[in-house]
Chain A
Amino acid sequence: MSGFWDVFKKTAYFRLSWFIQDKMIESVDEIQKASEQSSLQKNKGKIIDAVYDNEFSKHRRKR
């Protein structure tokens, strides 16, 4: 019976560590996404200028 609980414990530790690792990776991804969004928001004006205020956009056909 102790063999069963040993395996159970190892599996539980493994799953728990896997879960924690997943959460940590998710958090880093979330932080990166949030920082990118905030940076895009901050540079919005410059980006809009670069995309639309140029010779190319002036000569594109308006729909």
Chain B
Amino acid sequence: MMDKLAEFNDNNGFKVTLTTDKIYISAIGAEETFALRSVSGVGLYDNIQKYNQELEAQKTEGDRKKLLSVLGVGFGGLLVAAGLTGSGVDIGITGAAVLVLFSVMYYFFAKSDSSPPVLDSYFTLMLSGGDRRFPFNKSGNNAKQIAEFINKVEDTLTAYHKG
């Protein structure tokens, strides 16, 4: 029985195990085993471009919601003022106040609803038969396990003469 050096899983059926000789990868419906001697390196890649685009999209969406809320508050406020001063425009102070209230509620709801985008990261196993890339989340529950797994795989990478 080979010693298990490191392991991680994504709790969705995907599991990677490193032993002293091999790397076992199992997913639902697929299993792969690699000899450690075929691993020539590991790589890490963060999709910063996509993350930046998502940040921009979130900001634009936030600005749009903010503008809608401000317009609602402004318009409602004007109607309240018009109602109070007894001018010709009167849809009822209660109705205008409700509009203001809804706009404020919408603003806070939209603010709490927007979760920050997630940075897509990948680690690559460079194998003699081609590279294999695995997506993961650096802030996910299994991030610590993945970091330790990569550290251990790095330990197995040696110069040729050290064999």
Q: Which residues of A pack against B, CB within 8 Å?
A: 36, 39-40, 43, 46-47, 50-51, 54-61
Main secondary structure of the interface of A (DSSP, over half): helix
Known A43-B56, A60-B151, A61-B154; judge A55-B144 contact (CB<8 A): yes
A49 to chain B, nearest CB (A): 9
Number of interface residues of B (CB under 8 A): 21
Q: Which residues of B pack against A, CB within 8 Å?
A: 46, 48-49, 51-52, 55-56, 119, 121, 136, 138-140, 143-144, 146-148, 150-151, 154
Query: Could you give 16 example pairs across A and B, Cβ below 8 Å?
Result: A36-B52, A39-B56, A43-B55, A47-B55, A51-B46, A51-B48, A55-B140, A55-B144, A56-B121, A56-B136, A56-B139, A56-B144, A56-B146, A58-B147, A59-B151, A61-B154
> What residue of chain A has the Cβ atom nearest to residue B136's Cβ?
A56
Main secondary structure of the interface of B (DSSP, over half): helix
Known A54-B139, A60-B151; judge A40-B52 contact (CB<8 A): yes
**Residues of the B chain whose Cβ atoms lie less than 8 Å from the Cβ of A47:** 48, 51-52, 55
B115 to chain A, nearest CB (A): 13
